[in-house]
């Protein structure tokens, strides 16, 4: 056995914990999705595990972050991702904005998480009775900078007007589907990651009444399949 091989084996033995930790920070999108679903079950049943909320975890994160999912969610105070998914410090990269829309600033933040932090999963999460979607559906005049935000939601509202059922509920779902599609096709960063299967983008709707997250049907696996895709209704 050469000295180089010996050194390699010794280094691996000494650094086994560190190597394991690095692997733990790079889970698959499917594994992360299962974890989020389990965490949401904890929230819905109020049986929290409160992971990664210790002083030790805080000290560990002072040297860097390795979140395993990016969550684009509404800024509504009732829809906090760490609570909804029973996660802790450093677990989620949150991007929050009213109506869970994706303007340039939101996309830039998502690009950073996907390209530099290598988060394998991106969740676009809207919620029941969304105030931003409701405002976009109403005929009233918005003040300040709200018109530019509501303009991003109105295409979903207009599409929802032609459907049976509750207007706002339908528009919430359609808005999520629109943003999922927008992000999957976003160039130059996100679309190539999606095509290489390094990033999975999924949509979800949070219920204020039950605390449960309903996951929308999985989107196609490549940007070529996404173009022109008509998304079906959400499944319970």
Q: Report the 10 Å Cβ neighbour count for 105.
A: 10
Q: The whole model's pTM is what? A: 0.84
- How far apart, in whole angstroms, are the C-alpha atoms of residue 83 and residue 107? 23
pLDDT digits (tens, 9 = 90+) for 203-233: 999 999 999 999 999 756 555 555 544 433 3
pLDDT digits (tens, 9 = 90+) for 26-82: 799 999 999 999 999 999 999 999 999 999 999 999 999 999 999 999 999 999 999
Under a CB-based contact definition with an 8 Å cutoff, are residues 25 and 68 in contact? Answer: yes
Percent helix, strand, coil in the chain, to 5, is: 50, 10, 40
Of 24 and 161, the structure prediction assigns the larger pLDDT to 161
Residues 6+ apart with CB under 8 A from 142: 135, 150
For the chain, give the mean pLDDT. 87
- How far apart, in whole angstroms, are the C-alpha atoms of residue 6 and residue 3? 5
Percent of the chain at pLDDT > 90 equals: 79
Query: What pLDDT is stored for residue 10 in this prediction?
Result: 34
Query: What pLDDT is stored for residue 88 in this prediction?
Result: 98
Q: Quick one: pLDDT band at residue 162, thresholds 50, 70, 90?
A: confident
Mean pLDDT, residues 166-177:
98
Delineate the domains of the chain, giving CATH numbers in brackets. Answer: 28-226 (3.40.1050.10)
Under a CB-based contact definition with an 8 Å cutoff, are residues 69 and 93 in contact? Answer: yes
Which residue's structure tokens are 């983008």?
201
Region label for 166, one of left (φ > 0), alpha (ψ between -120 and 50) or beta (otherwise): beta
pLDDT digits (tens, 9 = 90+) for 122-140: 999 999 999 999 999 997 8
């Amino acid at each position: 056995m050469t000295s180089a091989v010996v050194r390699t084996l010794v280094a691996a033995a000494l650094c086994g914990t560190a190597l394991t930790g690095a692997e733990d920070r790079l889970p698959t999108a499917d594994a992360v999705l299962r974890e989020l679903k389990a965490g949401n079950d904890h929230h819905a049943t109020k049986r929290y595990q409160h992971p990664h909320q210790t002083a030790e975890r805080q000290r560990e994160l002072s040297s860097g972050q390795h979140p395993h999912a990016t969550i684009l969610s509404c800024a509504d105070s009732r829809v906090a991702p760490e609570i909804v998914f029973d996660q802790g410090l450093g677990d989620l990269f949150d991007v929050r904005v009213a109506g869970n829309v994706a303007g340039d600033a939101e996309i830039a933040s998502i690009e950073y998480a996907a390209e530099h932090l290598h988060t394998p999963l991106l969740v676009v999460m809207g919620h029941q009775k969304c105030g931003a979607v409701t405002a976009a559906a109403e005929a009233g005049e918005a003040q300040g900078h709200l018109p530019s935000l509501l303009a991003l939601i109105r295409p979903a509202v207009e599409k929802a007007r032609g459907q049976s059922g509750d207007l706002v509920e339908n528009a919430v779902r359609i808005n999520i589907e629109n943003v999922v599609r927008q992000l999957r096709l976003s160039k130059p960063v996100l679309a190539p990651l999606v095509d290489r299967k390094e990033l999975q983008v999924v949509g979800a709707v949070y219920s204020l009444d039950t605390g449960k997250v309903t996951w929308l049907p999985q989107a196609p696996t490549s940007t070529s399949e996404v173009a022109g895709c008509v998304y079906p209704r959400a499944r319970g």
